[in-house]
Amino acid sequence: MGELDFLIKGISSVSWQQLIMYAVGAILIIIGIAKKLEPSLLIPMGLGAILVNIPASGALGQAGAIEWLFKVGIEASEIMPLLLFIGIGAMLDFGPLLSNPKLIFIGAAAQAGIFLTIILSVVLGFDIKEAASIGIIGAADGPTSILVATKLIPDSDIYGAIMVVAYCYMALVPLIQPIVIKGCTTKKERLIKMEYNPKNVTKGAKIAFPVIITIVAGLLAPESVSLVGFLMFGNLIRECGVLNSLSETAQKSLANIVTIFLGISIASQMQAEQFLKPETLLILGLGLFAFIFDTAGGVLFAKFINLFSKNKVNPMIGAAGVSAVPMAARVVHKEGVKEDPTNFLLMHSVGVNVFGQIASVIAGGMILNFFMK
């Protein structure tokens, strides 16, 4: 029986809080596999949540691999989210946006939930830097949420919860957005058809666009330079025409590998004693509030444009203004086809979606620029 003492001791040292985190990890894994929602992120995050909650886990501490990944890749250098931005930038096609520039305003309006949530978080008792970090969750932009929280509140008790909640809502875009869209639109509005007549966007314009955006964003919010710069660098690789193999690598291999390591690194912040607090549930609720009002902001602004526009836009495309690329655009397209099988909104949604990505990064930079003073 003595040979089993170490096993009995290990099992008996597991707390009920750690058991809850095992269940949380299992749920994330199941969602990633069964629902196919961001599996490259949720599966490593779920397994990581289990690993870091094993008593005396070797994944933590000075020699622990997960803690090392977090400290080096996120806390010390922020290099992992920035590398992911290169991959995301390489995936973005700004052609639909450049051919219909008014989509810029719809994408920008879809950031409204960020600032509303900052105000609500302050009212609920969070300090202003914590509130700013919570608000950015609404953009459904995990890398930006990580960067903002790392710079503003690296020592806060809610630091880990913000990162986990941000990525969870990214994965839940297909489940939450259809409900918000239907709540903000009428059947008649959802049936509006939009013709897609792409103007000839020159190669020179596509190459110049990421450079111009980097300069403008940098001048408006210098703290956004690394965020916007890495995103636009990825897009420049895509559009320059002489780095095709590098562009494909950034879109696929780089983005997938970094996402896996990012997911398991974030799990280092899911230790039961840090994560299972009342504040986590509050952040979960505030994150949902931010995400709902970001989605609604884009939809309602599209409806506002229709009051003055001869050529009506389908308000549903406003929901694509959150930066979950290309998931949000696909959700809108799917909802359009569901209402009318002949109504194809994909390219219009993509235009809003790609600027939503830029707008969320600029919003994150503006928040850093303002609150780091």
The predicted structure's pLDDT at residue 4: 62
Tokens 């749920």, residue?
Answer: 27
Task: Round the average pLDDT of the chain to a whole number and report it.
Answer: 89
> pTM of the predicted model, to two decimals?
0.87
Q: How confident is the model at residue 301 (pLDDT cuts 50, 70, 90)?
A: very high
Cβ(294)–Cβ(313) below 8 Å: no
Residue 123 Cα distances to 131, 155, 282, angstroms: 9, 22, 13
Residue 32 Cα distances to 26, 29, 69, 80, 168, angstroms: 10, 5, 22, 21, 10
Distance in angstroms (rounded) separating the CA atoms of residues 211 and 233 = 8
Q: Please compute the mean of the pLDDT values over residues 129-147 and round it to a whole number.
A: 89
The predicted structure's pLDDT at residue 291: 92
Q: How confident is the model at residue 372 (pLDDT cuts 50, 70, 90)?
A: confident
Q: Please compute the mean of the pLDDT values over residues 85-93 and round it to a whole number.
A: 92
Residue 258 Cα distances to 69, 83, 116, 249, angstroms: 11, 7, 31, 12
Q: Taking 60 as the threshold, does the pLDDT of residue 1 lie above it?
A: no
Cβ(126)–Cβ(152) below 8 Å: no
Q: Taking 80 as the threshold, does the pLDDT of residue 338 lie above it?
A: yes
The predicted structure's pLDDT at residue 282: 94
pLDDT digits (tens, 9 = 90+) for 208-225: 999 999 999 888 888 878
Q: Please compute the mean of the pLDDT values over residues 106-132 and round it to a whole number.
A: 93
Residues with Cβ < 8 Å from 336, sequence gap 6 or more? 190, 314, 316, 343, 344, 345
The predicted structure's pLDDT at residue 5: 61
